[in-house]
């Protein structure tokens, strides 16, 4: 079993399960998804990340005890990844590093879309000179804003802006875009590759999982 950690608290179980469902459908591997508590707007700045890290670690430890053989922190910032790796004996995969490595393999200039003030450090470190721009959609300050029609419209305009800046591919620097299944819309409207964070973490986790069965 792959254990997937959601870094925001959702009342809607369908939303909680959406990342795991995407991975199960694309890669035919079993995924159990859990949310950290008391984080209704997820991680969107340094303070909310600091608050979330011990919750991520506690949940990851619990998922290992329940039999998970791989853990995914489904967030583009890879929050708490080193802390969790120090506490468990199984691999821990981060969304941001996974998407960055997939994008790096293309070698194309990339535009990043996220909900924070700047590019998550792990993504900036891995993508480096390939980054031509980063944008946070107008009016989007946390992951729940992407669940609105206004958020979707602003996100599409942001993608167009990045293409105008020279991006030849779009990389999601927030898993909220995966929650709303936004990659397909950008591909249809703009005709360029999109590196979906959840799909990327699933690709890496599923490959390892299938090797170790």
Question: 2-95+200-211 and 97-196: same fold?
Answer: yes
Q: 97-196 in CATH: which number?
A: 3.40.50.1860
Annotate 56-107 with DSSP letters as a single string. Answer: HHHHHHHHHHTT-SEEEEESTT-TTHHHHHTT-SS-EEEHHHHHHHHHHHHT
- The pLDDT score that the predictor gives to residue 142 is 67
| Chain center to CA of 74 | 5
Query: 74-99, pLDDT tens digit by residue?
Result: 999 999 999 999 999 999 999 999 99
Fold classification of 2-95+200-211 (topology level): Rossmann fold (3.40.50)
Q: Give the start-to-end residue ranges of the domains of the chain.
A: 2-95+200-211, 97-196
**Predicted TM-score (pTM) of this structure:** 0.90
CB 73 within 8 A of CB 3: no
Q: Would you say residue 150 has pLDDT above 90?
A: no
């Amino acid at each position: 079993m792959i254990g997937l950690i959601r870094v925001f608290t959702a009342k809607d179980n369908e939303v909680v399960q959406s990342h795991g469902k995407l991975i199960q459908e694309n890669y035919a591997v079993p995924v159990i998804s859990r949310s950290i508590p008391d984080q209704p707007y997820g991680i969107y700045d340094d303070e909310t990340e600091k608050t979330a890290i011990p919750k991520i670690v506690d949940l990851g430890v619990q998922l290992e005890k329940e039999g998970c053989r791989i853990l995914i922190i489904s967030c583009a910032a890879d929050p708490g990844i080193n802390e969790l790796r120090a506490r468990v004996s199984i691999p821990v995969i981060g969304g941001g590093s996974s998407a960055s490595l997939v994008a790096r393999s293309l070698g194309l200039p990339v535009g990043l879309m996220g909900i924070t003030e700047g590019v998550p450090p792990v993504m900036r470190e891995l993508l480096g000179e390939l980054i031509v721009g980063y944008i946070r959609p107008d009016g989007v300050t946390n992951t729940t804003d992407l669940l609105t029609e206004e958020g979707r419209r602003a996100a599409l305009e942001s993608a167009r802006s990045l293409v105008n800046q020279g991006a030849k591919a779009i990389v999601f620097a927030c898993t909220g875009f995966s929650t709303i299944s936004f990659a397909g819309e950008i591909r249809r409207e703009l005709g360029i590759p999109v590196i979906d964070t959840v799909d990327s973490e699933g690709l890496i986790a599923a490959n390892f999982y299938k090797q170790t069965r």
